[in-house]
Amino acid sequence: MDQDLQLVKGNEAVAEAAARAGCRYFFGYPITPQNELPAYMSWRLPELGGVYLQAESEVAAINMVYGAAGAGVRVMTSSSSPGISLKQEGISYLAGSELPCVIVNMVRGGPGLGSIQPAQSDYFQATKGGGHGDYRMVVLGPSDLQELVDLTYESFNIADRYRNPVMILGDGIMGQMMEPVRFPELLDPQTLPVKEWATTGRGGKRKENNLINSLYLDAEACWEHNQKLGEKYRQMKENETRWEILYEDAEFYFAAYGTTARIVKKALESLRQRGYSVGLVRPISLWPFPDQAFASLAEKARGYVVVEMSMGQMVEDVRLAVGSELPVEFIGTAGGVMPHPSDISDKMETLIREVGGHK
């Protein structure tokens, strides 16, 4: 056996990956199904000389993240759907003030208090800006625990690179399940480049005060600020788009992300065994959305089935990417119910029959 493999719960895997990435500050408020994440941080961060704090509310927690990020440290918060809604104002302020941080959403059924079971119904909120204003953030949707670990680790680099929040979009299953993972090395935050913009005091060296702020009372200045942000988002699109395609020579494709993608892979294999020419496009970055992946298949693809644990959210981005020439069908579950592989393959068989595809 690989000696480095550990059997770990998803919530704890994110926490350890963040600690290894040099995150030493965590502010949160409990909510199912992500409680093991703050629980892990509550002993792990003090052990590493960091700070864990359970705030009095989600709103307080995200604003503590704002403060810590402003001081230039790697910082994280986590929650699940209703709690993430409460953080939206803070996320908008973080983006407006250009502060790097990592936010984890282990999505549960909604709307409102919804259920505590796994869902993907926060896709719109995560990718279209749940808070106000013209902001964007990189949203990553891992589909197994190793990818969850790797993307969490990388998300701190992305956040620092662009001085912007990054969101890890998981779900209740990903938080609760155990799978073998291998952790990257433990990074000493002292070895990270100094953030010259951080508000850590002039220390007798800097001539000017650093200012962290999202208020621009002058309209022209606010417009300039938005143009600067817009250029940053353009660079994120150019550099941070991630996806996976299975079977690049297929005629019909599933599109799915996160936990759903691994269920789709099972349906896909059973269809291929029965002679169907099917593949999978799996967006890994949900924003920026991998339009290129769909464009690369335009010559050959004859139709798509989008599968989500929602009533249909990512399907809109797939339709935008694919255009109106091809059928884009949808099958989804909601409220915390998991899609079943046989329902998924039935949907694909129906599409192939209607389009007159080959077996």
- Rounded Cα distance between 267 and 352, Å, is 14
Closer by beta carbon to another protein, 177 or else 355: 177
Smallest Cα–Cα separation from 336: which of 35, 116, 105?
A: 116
Q: Which is nearer to another protein, 48 or 116 (CB)?
A: 116
Q: How far is the CB of 9 from another protein (least distance, A)?
A: 8
For the chain, the maximum distance between any two Cα atoms, rounded to a whole number of angstroms, is 74
Residues 244, 282 contacting (CB under 8 angstroms):
yes
> Minimal distance in Å, beta carbon 1 to another protein?
5
Least Å distance, CB 253 to another protein, is 18
Least distance to another protein from the beta carbon of 279, Å? 16
Helix or strand or coil: residue 270?
Answer: helix
167 closest CA partner among 100, 111, 235? 100
Cβ of residue 273: shortest distance to another protein, in angstroms? 12
CB-based burial, 139-172: b 16+ in 10 Å, e otherwise = bbbbbbbbbbbbbbbbbbebbbbbbbbbbbbbbb
Q: How far is the CB of 156 from another protein (least distance, A)?
A: 27
Buried b or exposed e, range 268-282, using 16+ CB within 10 angstroms: beebeeeebbbbbbb
**For residues 180 and 327, which CB has a smaller minimum distance to another protein in the complex?**
180
Least Å distance, CB 176 to another protein, is: 5
How far, rounded to the nearest angstrom, does the alpha carbon of residue 86 sit from its chain's CA centroid?
17
Q: Indicate left, alpha or beta for 335 from its phi (over 0: left) and psi (-120 to 50: alpha).
A: left
Query: For another protein, which is the closer residue by CB, 265 or 300?
Result: 265
Q: Closest separation between CB of residue 314 and another protein, Å?
A: 19
- Interface with another protein by CB under 8 A: which residues? 1-2, 5, 7, 32-33, 116-117, 144, 172-173, 176-180, 259, 262-263, 265-266, 338, 340-341
Residue closer to another protein, measured from CB, 81 or 176: 176
Alpha-carbon separation of residue 199 from 66, 72, 158, 217, 226 (angstroms): 12, 7, 20, 21, 22
Closest contact distance (angstroms) between CB of 330 and another protein is 19
Nearer to another protein, 42 or 199 (CB): 42
Nearer to another protein, 77 or 117 (CB): 117
Report how far residue 14's alpha carbon sits from residue 354's, in angstroms, rounded to the nearest whole number: 43
Compute CA 151 distance to the chain's CA centroid, rounded to the nearest angstrom.
Answer: 9
Q: 8 or 64: whose CB is closer to another protein?
A: 8
Which CB sits closer to another protein, 159 or 264? 264
- H or E segment to which residue 27 belongs: strand 25-28
51, β-bridge pairs: 25
Residue 78 carries which side chain, given as an amino acid letter? S
